[in-house]
Amino acid sequence: MPLTDYLERNAKLYPDEVALVELNPAEQDTRRVTWKEYSLIQPTSAQPYRREITWSVFDEKANRMANMLISRGVSKGDKVGILMMNCLEWLPIYFGILKAGAIAVPLNFRYSADEILYCVELADVEVLLFGPEFIGRIEANEDKLSKGRLLIYVGEGCPTFAESYRELVADCSSVKPDVQYTEEDYGAIYFSSGTTGFPKAILHKHQSLSWAATVEQKHHSTSREDTFLCIPPLYHTGAKMHWMGSLVSASKAVLLRGTKPEYILDAVSKEHCTIVWLLVPWAQDILDSLDRGDLKLSDYSLDQWRLMHIGAQPVPPSLIKRWKEYFPNHQYDTNYGLSESIGPGCVHLGVENIHKVGAIGVPGYGWECKIVDEHDNEVKRGEAGELCVKGPGVMTCYYKNPEATAEVLKDGWLYTGDVAMQDEDGFYFLVDRKKDVIVSGGENLYPVQIEDFLRAHDKIKDVAVIGLPDKRLGEIAGAIIEIKEGMECTEDEINEFCLGMPRYKRPKKIIFAPVLRNATGKIEKPKLRKLYGEEHLVAFENNE
């Protein structure tokens, strides 16, 4: 069934129960909220900013949004963009777009002004909703963005070149519009992360969205008693599809704006969160804060927290070992997926398989997997090849890009571009991105394997391994290493530590610098290669 049916069911069965909470710990509650259905639970200026809505209000807001779009000429199949930070308005707007029969197009909040314009034009967006953080970026291309396109501002103090969302929806009906759509209709366009090039538009049917919700609820046994803490950006399939477990189970979710360790533990404690999805850097920050004594578990109420899961990137086993030392009773899961497979879940570890930490897991609920060589033949277990997945959540296509679609969709199989291997027990291990493999003197080096080894060093906070140009070997492995706060480390220490690796895998260049990651926690290796690869080549040539 379409995803919107879950929302309407929840509004009917549990109208007065809390659906969503927004927390903004960094913002003092000094502004007045005019919408009467928003409840300020903590009214004093010394408390974090907190808003909440019930399932009935959630549904009513989605209906108002849908009716507003229809009144402005939006019809079935039109594209409506969302460029907003996580907030209480985000999901009702998303569901309102779906209820209008339109196609939701979430945009990365890190996009530059030109990237926003590029994606809006690529996806044929006809209406763009944007928040206060993006006024400058929209204004930079306002003449092009407003040409034949409706710009709607969500926030206080509407700029002159846009219309006010609050004013537009204020007088719209809260009754569901009479628009017919099924699972076979298109529901959303998401954009690839851009870690391997400029973003591509990924078209999904309603079936994909609904399947992602089913998979998430199945994998983590989300029940009505659970409360999910959502921290990553909602424009990304990972965050939204993990939240959809709460949609299916009709349970509360908390949108936390901020990633500081104290914000996370405080939200878990005060909102009684039971499920938390973290990115590797955030989990690392929590552990480092606990190690330093900046945070004390005894200051929080965390007994109800049952599950911590991680996705979006390979997870070093050493991190989970440390995590279990502080949280021995936590269930743990890791999730693998792509926006092309509607986010996480096509492969997942499973809470019962913590003994296999380091693997991305087994095929998810309703999914199939295989590993193939360069000739599309399946490889033997233990051999590396390209991971392919197949299931109801695979995208329809790259929108307006048949050539790129043909490269990754073959006979219903999605070719992920990730190099993986399967062990004797049937568990899949991610080796690396196909495009990130370093070919050094004829040897294939897989950066993820080197990164996992280096992360075991007690002074290393984060690490990224990239290929650097070399006139003799073609490429060498360079390690960008971010040291933990308050610690010092030398190149000699790293080189000595690397003696535990085979000689050919050892990094030939050590660079102490921050590791660049995008909003979903993925290492931005193209940027690192551009930054340090060109610098390395110039230095190399100057020394010739």
Locate the domains of the chain by residue range: 3-230, 437-543
pTM for this entry = 0.82
**Burial label, 31 (beta-carbon count in 10 A; 0-12, 13-18, 19+):** exposed
Cα separation values, 292 from 109, 130, 286, 484, 531, Å: 32, 40, 10, 11, 32
Dist. CA 286–CA 531, nearest whole Å: 29
Question: Does 3.40.50.12780 match the CATH number of domain 3-230?
Answer: yes
Query: Which of helix, strand or coil describes residue 457?
Result: coil
CATH number of the domain at 437-543, please? 3.30.300.30
Give the up-direction half-sphere exposure of residue 252: CA atoms within 13 A in the CB hemisphere: 19
What is the three-state SS of 203-264? Answer: EEEHHHHHHHHHHHHHHHCCCCCCEEEECCCCCCHHHHHHHHHHHHHCCEEEEECCCCHHHH
pLDDT string in tens for the chain (544-residue length): 899 999 999 999 999 999 999 999 987 433 433 333 333 333 333 345 899 999 999 999 999 999 999 999 999 999 999 999 999 999 999 999 999 999 999 998 888 898 899 999 999 999 999 999 999 999 999 999 999 899 999 999 999 999 999 999 999 999 999 999 999 999 999 998 654 457 899 999 999 999 999 999 999 999 999 999 999 889 988 788 899 999 999 999 999 999 899 999 999 999 999 999 998 778 988 999 999 999 999 999 999 999 999 876 667 788 899 999 999 999 999 988 889 998 788 999 999 998 898 899 999 999 999 999 989 999 999 998 999 999 999 999 999 999 999 999 999 999 998 889 999 999 999 876 667 778 776 567 878 788 888 988 989 999 999 888 876 677 889 999 999 988 999 999 999 999 988 787 899 999 999 998 876 667 888 788 888 876 655 454 455 4
Instruction: Output phi, psi for 20, to 5 deg.
Output: -135, 140
How far, in Å, CA of 6 to CA of 248, rounded?
6
Phi then psi for 174, rounded to 5 degrees?
-95, 10
Q: How far lies 288's CA from each of 230, 310, 431, 503, in Å? A: 21, 17, 27, 31
